[in-house]
Amino acid sequence: MTQIVGHRGARGEAPENTLPSFAKALQAGVTRVELDLHLSADQQLMVIHDPTLKRTTGLHGKVVQHDAADLQRMDARFGLPGWPDPCPIPTLEQVFSSFPQIEHYQLEVKSGSAAQSRVVLAAILSLVERFDLQERVVVTSSSRTLLATARDSNYPLPTGLVEEYGLLNPLKSARRYGCSYLVLKWTLCRPARIRQAQAQGLHVSVWTVNEIELMQRLIDMGVDSIITDYPQRAVQLLAAGG
C-alpha cells in the first residue's frame, strides 16, 4: 500500500516545519514526515525550508547568520496567516525528542559545499544515533555534492535523490550516488519509470501531491509514498479504498 508522508509536517494545515505541524500530521494518523534542514551559525540543525527567514518569519536575514537559540525565539507562523499561536523554529533535536511516535523521517538537506555537507551529515548521524533512529530516517537532497560526500565517506544512513526537473536520468543519478530513495516531483512520474526504479530497489517517493485525483493517479501507478501538505485528505482517500 502507498504510504502517506506529511510534507514539512502538515504544511497545508499548520505552519510548516514547526512542532504543531508535525503534531497535526500525527493527529491525522500519518506517522511518516518530510522536513528540511539548515545549519545555524553555531552549527545546530534547524528545521526550516528556506535559507532566509522572510517567508516563514517575516524577518530579514539568513538562517546561518543566527545561533540556534536566537532562531528558536523567532515565530515561524508567518507563512500560514491566521494561526493563533506563536510557532518557534525548532531544532531537529526538538523534533526527535517531541515525537517518538513518528515512524520515519525524510530529512531533506539544503546544502552547498562538500565541507558544509560533511558537517551536516555528521550532525545528522550524531542525533540519529543518540535517538536510536538508524532504521527510521533517510537523508535526502537535490545536492549532488552532498550525495557524493555521503557515498564517498561510506555514510551509514540511507540517502535519497530529490529530483525536480529530470534533465539527467534520475534513475542513473540515484544509482551513481548509491541512493535508496528516489524522491520525484510528481510531474516526472511515469508508470514505466516507477516500475524501473522499483526493480532497481529504489523507494519512489513523490511530491507535492495535494489533489485527490492526483493522489489516486499516483497510487494507481504504484508509487511507494506520496508527500502531501494535507495528510488528513490523503488518509481519507486511502480509508475510502483509494
Whole-model pTM: value is 0.97
146 pLDDT more than 80: yes
Written as nine digits, the cell of 159 is 540517502
Mean pLDDT throughout 18-36?
Answer: 98
pLDDT of residue 240: 87
Written as nine digits, the cell of 67 is 545561533
Q: Where are the alpha helices (DSSP H) in the chain?
A: 19-27, 54-57, 68-71, 92-98, 114-130, 144-152, 170-176, 191-199, 212-221, 231-239
Q: pLDDT-derived band of residue 227, with 50, 70 and 90 as boundaries? A: very high
Task: Express each pLDDT in 66-94 by its tens digit.
Answer: 999 999 999 999 989 899 999 999 999 99
Element (H, E) at 184: strand 181-185
* Domain map (residue ranges) of the chain: 3-239
d(CA 166, CA 199) in angstroms, rounded, equals 19
pLDDT of residue 184: 98
d(CA 98, CA 200) in angstroms, rounded, equals 35
Written as nine digits, the cell of 182 is 528516489
20-24, 108-112, 220-224: the lowest-pLDDT one: 108-112
Quote the Cα angle for 38-117-17, to 5°: 20
- β-bridge partners, 183: 162, 205
CATH topology of domain 3-239: TIM Barrel (3.20.20)
Task: Express each pLDDT in 29-40 by its tens digit.
Answer: 999 999 999 999
d(CA 171, CA 193) in angstroms, rounded, equals 8
Q: Are 8 and 17 in contact (CB under 8 A)?
A: yes
Please state, as a whole number, how many other Cβ atoms lie within 10 Å of the Cβ of residue 241: 5
Q: What is the bridge-based pairing of β-strands 159-163 and 225-228?
A: unpaired
111 pLDDT more than 80: no
* Amino acid at position 13, single letter: E
168 exposure class (CB count in 10 Å sphere: 0-12, 13-18, 19+):
exposed
Q: pLDDT-derived band of residue 216, with 50, 70 and 90 as boundaries? A: very high
